[in-house]
Structure formats: C-alpha cells, structure tokens
Amino acid sequence: SQQGEEDPQALSIQEGENATMNCSYKTSINNLQWYRQNSGRGLVHLILIRSNEREKHSGRLRVTLDTSKKSSSLLITASRAADTASYFCATDSGGGTSYGKLTFGQGTILTVHP
C-alpha cells in the first residue's frame, strides 16, 4: 500500500498562478521528498525535507512539513506551462540498511494552461 497520499489527484491552473499540492503519510519518517514526472519519462528529484525541518525552498518551490499531522505540501509559485507534469511525494521511513527506501504516493497531475 502507498505510504503517501496526494491531494488533489488533479489540478488545473493558468500560467502565473500558484499551485499547491498536499501529501499525507502514515508512519514516522526520516525525510520526505518530492519528485516530478513528465509524461512517458522517469521521475526527477525536486526537493528533500528532513524530519526535523519545517520548511524548505528551492527556486520557485516551497515545501512544508508538519510531522505532528504527518503531512507535507508543495507550492509552485508563478507556474509555467512547462511545469505541467505529475508530482509525487515519497517518504523515507527506513532505518539501518534501509535508508533511502522510498514509498511513493499516487501523485498529483498538474496542468498549467498558457
């Protein structure tokens, strides 16, 4: 079963608007990561937030993490048509030799209209 659950499943916005995607998970984590997947391609790592961090920025991306609520959000500001893709959260709950073992959510399909 999937650890992370994204919300919404699909999001359609206009270029220039902000896009917010949410992720909830069930067990304790070492870190939470967000990945992007363009149609027919592999996943590309966007950003990693550690369990002891609450917010992280990378360019137009802002990620928050609330471990008490077991949830995270990804905000893409000033969206562009090129941001159209599926976005996945992934949790790393491993320990010992299992660090780096990621469990992915179902993803949010983002469409940005020019």
Partner 1 sequence: DAGVIQSPRHEVTEMGQEVTLRCKPISGHNSLFWYRQTMMRGLELLIYFNNNVPIDDSGMPEDRFSAKMPNASFSTLKIQPSEPRDSAVYFCASSLDRGMNTEAFFGQGTRLTVV
CB of 3 to partner 1, least distance (A): 10
Residue 16 Cβ, how far from partner 1 at the closest point, in Å?
29
For 86, the token pair is 């599926």
Q: Considering the rule CB under 8 A, would residue 105 count as an interface residue with partner 1?
A: yes
- The residue within the footprint of partner 1, chosen from 14, 16, 18, 41 (CB under 8 A), is 41
| Smallest separation, CB 28 to partner 1 (Å) | 13
Residue 93 CA to residue 51 CA, distance in Å, equals 10
- Residue 110 near residue 21, CB atoms below 8 Å: yes
If one asks whether residue 100 binds partner 1 (CB under 8 A), the answer comes out as: yes
Q: CA 114 to CA 5: how far, in whole Å?
A: 28
Residue 43 touches partner 1, criterion: CB under 8 A = yes
Instruction: Give Dmax (Cα) for the chain.
Output: 47
Q: Tell me how many residues contact partner 1 (CB under 8 A).
A: 26
